[in-house]
């Protein structure tokens, strides 16, 4: 098979890029090592920045998102009994959209065939070859047969553990990483949310987050040491802990129910540079990981896709090779700003085991400042809703 762009990974970023390229007449194929059902089974983030929403609008794939998604004008920071509301609509004139990543992926998957986007699922043993050249290719196995895809460019949208990033030599790359001493234990349940907006809580027992996927489905988190095991956390234990950490106002409105899904996700900040080597471009988790504090993961991948689609369309449709050369620096400039925000919000809302009275006093002082300063709230709101692409 020959194509202009081979995309590795059929998660939301790979599918979104594929649709954007096809809309501009660029030939591409998406290769995914898992089945489509497996891709849809992954539980991920649900807060969409304007850039993600606008890309779905641009593709005309926003109807279900607009019908079922929940526009949010703000969110809350809690510290004990204090609730600090960040009015993102009033401060920035923008909103975020609560719409599950699974649902966004489903919208992109279901539109693929009708829009001529070829997606190959169950493509095992994926390997990238000659990425430093102008004639890279991908090999994979499906149904016991070996296949080869020749392309002009390869885009790795295959996550942190995929093969794309590993194809870039260590001699030309740099990795930046911070591993946090805790993970987020999440519970998904078909119960109404305790608040119509998200609550990020800093409590002496640890961090908690009250979020949602719809009016009838809620997603909650508490931070736990990395040594914790999910089997030691019954549903009742999680609900009890949430009621304490979120504070009395939220606790009074919590509806308990059986979990649909429970998991513990470790937290890390990670950046790989450059995001382009030869004819290989990286997007999303293949190049960077952010702590979930601040809901940047999917949205940062969407901004990468935006830049990658511009670069590839420029190359093929406008004979602009410089657009490819500029991709990495352009994407990384936004990545670092999103990493900074996620890191700072994580530091503000979590109790780190190495912290003492001074660090706690700094958190209290910062929250005091935020509660009384429109300038501080505006800075948070601008970052939360998404910096300009």
Q: What is the pLDDT of residues 282-307, one digit of tens each?
A: 999 999 999 999 889 999 999 999 99
The answer to whether residue 43 scores a pLDDT higher than 90 is no
Mean local confidence (pLDDT), 1-22: 97
User: How does pLDDT run across 259-275, given as a tens digit for each residue?
Assistant: 999 999 999 999 999 99
Domains and CATH numbers, the chain: 5-45+100-176+268-346 (3.50.50.60)
DSSP H or E run through 120: strand 118-120
pLDDT bucket at 171, cuts 50 / 70 / 90:
very high
| Residue pair 95/73 in contact by the 8 Å Cβ criterion | yes
Q: What is the pLDDT of residue 294?
A: 86
Question: 322-349 vs 357-372: helix axis angle to the nearest 10?
Answer: 110
Tell me the C-alpha distance between 62 and 259, whole Å.
29
The answer to whether residue 18 scores a pLDDT higher than 90 is yes
CA-derived radius of gyration, the chain: 21
CA dihedral sign of residues 55, 306, 70, 192: positive
The residues that are catalytic are 72, 200, 292, 296, 384
Phi and psi at 373, nearest 5°, equal -120, 115
Mean local confidence (pLDDT), 216-245: 96
Q: What is the pLDDT of residue 97?
A: 94
């Amino acid at each position: 098979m020959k194509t202009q762009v081979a995309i590795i990974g059929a998660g939301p970023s790979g599918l979104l890029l594929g649709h954007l390229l096809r809309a501009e007449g660029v030939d591409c194929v998406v290769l995914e090592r898992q089945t489509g059902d497996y891709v849809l089974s992954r539980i991920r983030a649900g807060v969409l920045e304007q850039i993600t929403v606008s890309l779905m609008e641009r593709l005309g794939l926003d109807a279900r998102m607009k019908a079922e998604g929940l526009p949010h004008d703000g969110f809350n920071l809690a510290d004990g009994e204090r609730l600090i509301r960040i009015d993102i609509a009033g401060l920035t004139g923008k909103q975020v959209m609560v719409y599950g990543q699974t649902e966004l992926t489903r919208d992109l998957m279901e539109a693929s065939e009708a829009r001529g986007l070829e997606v190959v699922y169950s493509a095992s043993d994926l390997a990238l070859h000659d990425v430093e050249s102008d004639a890279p290719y991908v090999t994979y196995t499906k149904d016991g047969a070996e296949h080869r895809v020749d392309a002009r460019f390869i885009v790795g949208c295959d996550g942190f553990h995929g093969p794309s990033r590993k194809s870039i030599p260590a001699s030309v790359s740099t990795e930046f990483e911070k591993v946090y001493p805790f993970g987020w234990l999440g519970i998904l349940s078909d119960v109404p949310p305790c608040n119509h907006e998200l609550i990020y809580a800093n409590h002496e027992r640890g961090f908690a987050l009250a979020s949602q996927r719809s009016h009838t489905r809620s997603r909650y988190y508490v931070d736990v040491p990395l040594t914790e095991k999910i089997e030691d956390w019954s549903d009742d234990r999680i609900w009890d802990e949430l009621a304490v950490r979120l504070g009395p106002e939220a606790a009074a409105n919590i509806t308990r129910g059986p979990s649909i899904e429970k998991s513990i996700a470790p937290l890390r900040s990670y950046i790989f540079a450059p995001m382009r080597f030869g004819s290989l471009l990286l997007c999303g988790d293949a190049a960077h990981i952010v702590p979930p504090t601040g809901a940047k993961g999917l949205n940062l991948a969407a901004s990468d896709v935006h830049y990658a689609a511009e670069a590839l369309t420029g190359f093929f449709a406008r004979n602009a090779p410089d657009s490819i050369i500029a991709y990495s620096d352009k994407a990384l400039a936004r990545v670092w700003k999103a990493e900074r925000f996620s890191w700072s919000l994580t530091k503000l809302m979590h109790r780190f085991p190495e912290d003492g009275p001074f660090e706690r006093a700094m958190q209290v002082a910062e929250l005091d400042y935020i509660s009384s300063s429109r300038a501080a709230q505006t800075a948070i709101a601008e970052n939360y809703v998404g910096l300009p692409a």
